[in-house]
Structure formats: structure tokens, C-alpha cells
Structure 1
Amino acid sequence: MLRVAVVGSGPSGCYTAQGLVQQDPSVCVDVLDRLPCPYGLVRYGVAPDHEKIKSLQNNLRTVLEHERVRFLGGVQVGGPGGLPVGRLRELYHAVVYCVGAATDRHLQIPGEDLPGSWSATEFVSWYSAHPDAVDDGFVRGARSAVVIGVGNVAVDVTRMLARGAAELSRTDMPEGALASLAASRVTEIHMVGRRGPSQARFTTKELRELGALPDTDVVVDPEELALDPAFTDPSALPAAQRRNIEVLRGWAAAPAKGGARRIRLRFFLRPAELLAADGRVGAVRLERTVPDGHGGVTGTGRYEDIAAQLVLRSVGYRGVPLDGLPFDAGTGTVPHRGGRVLRDGAVAPGEYVAGWIKRGPTGVIGTNRPCAKETVTSLLADAPALVRAQVPDDSVPALRAEGVEPVEWAGWQAIERVEAALGASLGRGAVKLPDWESLRAAARSGAP
């Protein structure tokens, strides 16, 4: 048997495992994750009110329940206290790293680190019950928020700020986050992009959801839209961008409904500074930009201040180095050739990458399928040489000898049962456990 470790149980990891066992009946795969729960960003990144997308977990579950695939949660690879990459290589014929892009990009402007300024990643982790998240009063005391960025994550966090308690209670959002958002007094939300509407990264489906929020007005300034040459004549744009323009044009022409909350979509403004008030964020200073004729923008030297007690930065994800693996700091990825890891320009036998750590944080969930397929093709082509190495028939005893106690599938099923019971006790559906202690205790309740 060819024994492969896949590090990461999100879509890229599961698609990699699926490709391996479907294409070669002699492959066994252990899918490792540092969390005791599988599914990666499908569990901890997809907005809780996007139930259709979250249902992808059912497809990933089918992969992890395959007879030649095993889930091993709670296994940290690399980093302080983690299993060294070199030791992991000794336990498997091949290792595929599908560790995503774990951090956010920064604005690099004065005041970015003021209290009240957060990355959207941190906010999403909190309302998605990621056990590393901190509840530091995101919305406490805030009446106005600025979301910097015009991609789907920016739309998600904007929508979560405007959602009502009745809508959120139907989701699997943890009870603490639900209570905080239900008590939120945020009524004004500005979503700000430095370029024009034709270059925004959100999808039309996500954009339209803002207009369907109860008791919420969506406000668009027609003068800002008109700064974009493609807005006046969108005929040359791809279909997705044309649809976005149509939605924005409709909102710009519609009268206000008098909702309790307002979402203001702003364009051609780039953040220059976060301004302090009483030791925390009090406003965002934005510079007006204009198209430069080459697809970018240039500053005009004209500024506008927007009052805000909460700032969420949503300007992209970035990969982080994994101890023991090469890393390209410029791209935030691991150097590779067809998914084969490169060390000093040469292929490193038995080491592979897939997903965002391979190609950068681009594409949608489905983009991981062809990405994983390329890596699987490379690995299986190398298999005749890889399988000659002597590795254990079962890595779990070796992991335990290293002080690692993996959470196997029965442990994850126990977590699911506890979350379902918690939700039932609160009169809700399943409610996610938000901290390491609760997750570990739940997993132990189902251990053999």
C-alpha cells in the first residue's frame, strides 16, 4: 500500500484524498488537521447563513468516510509543540500539504493596530466558533462600522453586521456571538473599495443578498459609480461584472425605504489612516482615487473622514511559512512544480502541495478540484519510487509516542452529537462549540 498523509481537511485536502483513493486502489490516506473538526474553511469560513454552501460538508464527509481514508484531528504539524515536518515524512511514503492561507493582508497605514480595528478573518473566526478566536467585544459600543474591501468576505461580514437576531438564531453560530450581534447597535455600515464597481471582487449572488436584508437600506452614490468608465458602458465587461453593475445601478436609482440600518457601498476611496478617539478607532480617513487609465487608480489628495467605532479589514488572505518547508515570501506560497515541492529549485521527493498554499488565495471552492487533480497526478506518477521506502503500517502509535493523541472519526462524531444536543437545549439547530476545552471534552466522550 502507498501510505499518504494529507495535511489539512478543507476542500483542497479532501479533494486530494478523494483523487488518490479513486485513481489508485493501493493508496491509503490519513487526513491530518490541527483542529479536532474537519472541513476547514467550509466549517470555519463560510458564513453561517449560507446553508447551501455549508452543505458541501456532506460531500467532504463522504470522502473522509471512505474505507481507505482516515481522519486524524488534533495533529499539529510544524510550529512550537507540533510534529516536525521531517518526522512526518518518516511515517508516510508521501505528504501533501493543504494548509491554506492562514493570515490576512495588512493595510500598512497609520492607526491600523488601534483597538476596534480587526481583520475580517478574526471577525469571521469569532462568529464561526473557531477555537482560536477571541471574543473581544467586536461590536460593543459601536454604532458605525467600516468594512474595507469589496470581495465576498467583505460582503459576508457586512451582512452579518446587518442581520437580525431572528435570522441568525436559525444558524449554527455559537451562542456568545449570537448574543453579541443580537445586542449590536451598529446601524451604519460602510463597505469601501479603492477601485470602481467594475473591478469589485464580489459575486452578484452575494451582492444581491444585501438588498434582501430586512429593515435595511442599501445606499449607492451614483456620482461615485460614474467615476468608473465601464459603469457608463459595461458592454465590454465579463457577464459577472455586468450583472454587478446592473444591481448597483438599480440601488442607486431606488428611493430609500427608511430601514433601521443602512449599508453604504463606496467606491474610489482608499484608506489613508485610522483616526483615534478615546484610545480606540473613531474614524477612517479615506483618499479619493480616480482611474489611472491602466486598470489601477491614483490618489487625488482629497480626503474624507467616516466616523466608525469598528473597522474590519478584508483585503485578502496570505499563506504563512510552515517550519521545515520552503516558502516564497513574495507570493505567500510553497515553491512547487506541478504540485511537487521544490527545495532550492529541485524536486523534494515525497513532498507535495495543493490548495491556497500552492497557488495563493484565489478562486472559489470548486477551484480546488483541478488544483488537487494536478497534484494527485504528480504524486501517483512518483508512486513506484515512493513506495519503496519503509514506513509504518499504522502511524497512530508513532504519533502517540510523539505525544500526539489524534481525534479519530468517532471523536468528531461525538462533537457533532454534543453540538446537536447543545442546540436542542437552546431551542435551535446544532450550535457549534467555540473553544478548545469543549471540543476536546466532546471528542473524548466518543473515544473508544
Structure 2
Amino acid sequence: MSTTADVHASNQPARIAVIGSGPAGIYASDLLVKSELDVQIDLFEKMPAPFGLIRYGVAPDHPRIKGIVKSLHNVMEKNEIRFLGNIEVGRDITVDEMHEYYDAIIFATGATQDKAMGLPGEELDGSFGSAEFVGFYDGNPNFKREWDLSAESVAVIGVGNVSLDVSRILAKTADELLVTEIPDNVYQSLKDNKAKEVHVFGRRGPAQAKYTPKELKELDESPTIEVIVAPEDIDYDAASEAARRESKSVDLVCQTLESYAMREPGDAPHKIYIHFFESPTEIVGEDGKVVGIRTERTQLDGNGNVTGTGEFTDWPVQAVYRAIGYHPQHVDGVPFDEKKSVIPNDGGHVIDSSTGESIPGLYATGWIKRGPIGLIGNTKSDAKDTTTMLIEDYVSGKLTAADKRDPEAIVNLLESRNVAMTTWEGWGRLDAAERAAGEEFERERVKIVEWEDMIRHAGPQA
């Protein structure tokens, strides 16, 4: 049995699989290509199209963030990287089988499922996870095609960027969003949106909000939306003031929230109320449907945390969106820490939960490594740490070399299992079809939603 040091000495390229073609997986692939190693990378994706969170997790009215796709596209064009889509590791091929074809495997599978709150009434009709709604408006084929938008008053739980996206999409008119890449089914649903008020709830104060300054400021740029913050919700304790001094970002968020609280009410038809110091305690139902949300007023304790005051308020709403974080999907054959929502790791190596030892040849990066928090900059640093460990292990011979080194061997295996693989060339065809569909309406693209339609353009029968 040969080691990777033997392969390295023989000048054969390192065979590496990266699972997940979102930013985390692509950044890791890019760093490996730029390293001193000669590499062949297969970038696996369970969706038919690449780009993960950027395609299916970013609100369609964020073209600045969507622009990241251009840099990711340039990485994917590199000869050392091969895209293999519509393949689910754990279903179409096991992790154990992959060891036969790859010297190392990096998991960059992200997080796409909603984290449960455990709140009474969470199961009611009209109670939604933000991931469900994001999947709907971003045209993810795994999610429903129609959405009940009959609620005139809506609650959003959480004070992070996802809650901003959800609130903004609920408050904007369908025609404002028509210039984006939203599919026609999303536009048709949004045309029937009855929401007039969106109430956003955070249990702590302005200094503890997880917004980024630019996204918070952009919330108020639509002529149809007015953002309202109650002056009494602008409050800071010693720890909050210290957080403002230590972080320019925190201070800018607080300044923006203060400006919302100080201005006179306007006449925009849609209102977004951001409520601080209100901790949701129950989603109130009647006949199985949401009719309200109950919150307990909180107060700062001096350390940036809060305690309950015993004062409760019932807010009449007909829908509740829970934007409190995402939960990754477990990959069969890989350890998973349910409590932390990550693959156990030491900063890069996957750790066997039972022994505490690293599993040779398995690595993690991105949200599946650190949890579903942080921005693109965090994802890049994650990838750097992980790939540095992988390269050191490879060169030192700590890894067992794959036996089946022919790049076509894995393709032949998957084809023998009738897996309808999509390719980078296929993505080019799908991309062109979406852009052509948008030309008729003077839009950049109209996203193709149905899974089989995506395969028809990007798969082997195209």
C-alpha cells in the first residue's frame, strides 16, 4: 500500500475530492491549485448547478453579493478542477468508496436546513423556517413552488442578515423584484403578497444585533418600505458600549438603528418594525393556525446579556418566520456533532467522535466546519487553514494513496450506476438558457427551477 509521499515523489498529481461547490468548496479548491502541489480536483455537488449558497441562499435583490459568482466562476474554469454535479455523496457513492479514488476528501457541504427553536406553537400552520422561504424565493428545486402570502402582519424572529433578507422580500412589491432573477412562480406568488407590517424580534439590544452595516442600511432604500425602531429600544449597558468601541461594524449598526429611531414617521405603504428586548416565548395559534406571537420584555444585565422582566406582550400576526440559524445535513459515513451542528474537527481534520483522533484523509471547511455563521472572509480563512493541513499531511506521507488514480474511473463508476451527472460544460448550457429566458423581459436571467429541466440542460443528455 503506497502513501501520498510515494505518489508525490513519483510526480503524480494529488487526487482530491471536494464535496460542495459553494464558496467554501471553491475557495479550498483554488488554494490547492495555487499551492506547490500538482493536483487534480473533483468538485462534487448534489445540486445540478454549482455555487451553493450564492445561487440558492442569497436574496435575489443583492446583486453586489451575487457578483461573487464571477470570481468563483474564474476558479471553476481552471484545468485542475472538474465539476461533477447532481451527485449526492452518501447516496450515489459512499465515503468509503471515495477513498479508493482520492487521496484526500474535503467536506464543504454548508448548511441548508432550519434550526429548530423548540418554541411552543412552532408546528402551527403559518410558522415557517427562513430556510424554507429562502429556498422558495431563490428557486431551489428542493423547496415548494408556491407560498401562502395572505398574512397582513408578519413576525420574523432573529436579528441577523437572513432576517433582513426575509423581511425585505416580504415588504417589497413583486414588481420591485421583477428586475432580479426570480423565477416566474416566485413573482406570481409575491404579486399576491398581502403583508403590510413586518415585525422583527430580537431578545437583546442594538449592540448585540448580528446585522452587517451595509445590509441594514439597504433595508430602508426601497421607496415602498419604512423601517421603524422604537426610541425606548435604543439602550446600551457597559458591555454594549465596549462592543461599540471595539468594533466599527457594531458601532455603524447602532448608528443606523439610532437614525431609524430618531426620525419622524413616513407614509411608505410597508412598515418593518425592528423590536429589541423582546424574547419570543410562544407562537400563538387558533384552529391550528398562527394568530399571534407572545414575547417577554427583557433588560440588559451589564454584561451584554439580558434577563426577563416578566412583562409579556401578544402581537397579532398571521405568520411567523424563524430566522435563527441553519442546520447542516448529515453525510452518511462522516462523524457529526448534533449539538454544535458541525463535523467534529480540529480546525481542518475530521475527528472521530469516539476516539478523539483525526480520520486520515478527511477534512472539513466552511459552515460544516465552524457552524453556520460568518461571512465570505471567514470562509476564505477556513479554507486556508484546512488546505494547509491537507498539504502538510500529503507531503509528509501521512495519507494512504488512492488505488484508482485514473480520473475517468470515478466517472465510469457513476455512469454504471445511472447517475445523471452534470458538468461544467453543462452548467454553461444551463446558464445560457437562463440568460436567454431573461432577455425577453430585459432581465439578466430567469432562474430555471425544476430539477429535471436543469438536468436536461446541464446533464449528459443535453
TM category, shorter: over 0.9
Match of 2:3 in 1: none
Q: Is the 8 A contact 2:174 2:187 kept in 1?
A: yes
**2:205–2:235 contact (8 Å) kept in structure 1:** no
d(CA) in 1 for partners of 2:34 and 2:188? Answer: 44
Contact 2:18-2:106 at 8 Å conserved across structures = yes
Q: Which amino acid aligns with 2:415?
A: R
- Residue 400 of structure 1 pairs with residue 400 of structure 2: no
- For 1:343-400, what per-residue CA distance to the aligned partner results, in whole angstroms no more than 9, with x for missing partners? 2222211111111111112210121111111111111112243474312312211222
What is the CA–CA distance in structure 1 between the aligned matches of 2:422 and 2:432, rounded to whole Å?
A: 15
Q: 1:263 to 1:399 in 2, by over 3 A?
A: same
Partners of 1:180 and 1:11 lie apart in 2 by: 30
Alignment match of 2:345 (pick from 336, 339, 358): 336
The two structures have a TM-score, normalised by structure 2, of 0.92
Q: Which of 413, 436, 444 does residue 429 from structure 1 map onto?
A: 444
Tell me, yes or no, if structure 1 residue 107 matches structure 2 residue 120: no
Check if 1:66 corresponds to 2:78: yes
Superposed, which structure 2 residues align to 1:240-255 within 5 Å? 240-255=249-264
Aligned to 1:369: 380
Shift of 1:194: 0.5
Contact 1:45 1:124 survives alignment (8 Å): yes
Which residue of structure 1 lines up, in the alignment, with residue 367 of structure 2? 356
Aligned residues: 444
Instruction: Report the Cα offset of residue 294 of structure 1.
Output: 2.9
Partner of 2:31: 19
Mapped contact 1:6–1:97 kept (Cα < 8 A): yes
| 1:120 maps to 2:130 | yes
Partner residue, 1:420: 435
Which amino acid is 1:370 matched to? S
Cα 1:228/1:267, change in 2 over 3 Å: farther
Which of 276-285 and 167-176 deviates more? 276-285
Taking the aligned partners of 1:387 and 1:445, their CA distance within structure 2 comes to 33
| 1:176 aligned onto 2:188 | no
Task: Report the secondary structure of 1:290's partner residue.
Answer: strand
Following superposition, the deviation at residue 317 of structure 1 comes to 1.6
1:268 aligns with one of 277, 288, 293: 277
Amino acid in structure 2 at the alignment position of 1:336: N
Moved more, 384-393 or 334-343: 384-393
Alpha-carbon offset, residue 438 of structure 1: 1.6
Structure 1 residue 204 displacement after superposition:
1.2
The corresponding residue for 2:454 is 439
Report what 1:300 is aligned to. Answer: 309
Q: C-alpha displacement at 1:248, in angstroms?
A: 1.6
SS state at 2:69 partner? helix
Counterpart residue type for residue 164 of structure 1: T
Structure 2 counterpart of 1:93, one-letter code: D
Of 122, 140, 143, the match for 1:130:
140
Deviation at 1:182, TM superposition (A): 2.4
User: TM (normalized to structure 1)?
Assistant: 0.94
Matched, 1:286 2:295: yes
Deviation at 1:446, TM superposition (A): 7.0
Tell me the alpha carbon deviations over residues 141-184 of structure 1, each in whole angstroms, 9 at most, x when there is no partner.
21011110000110111111112233201100111111211221
Residue equivalent to 2:9: none
Q: Is the 8 A contact 1:194 1:267 kept in 2?
A: yes
Q: Which ranges of structure 1 fall in alignment gaps of 5 or more residues?
A: none
The SS at the match of 1:83 is coil
Q: Residue 85 of structure 2 aligns to which amino acid in structure 1?
A: G
Q: Which stretch of structure 1 is more off in the superposition, 232-241 or 23-32?
A: 232-241
Matched, 1:391 2:404: yes
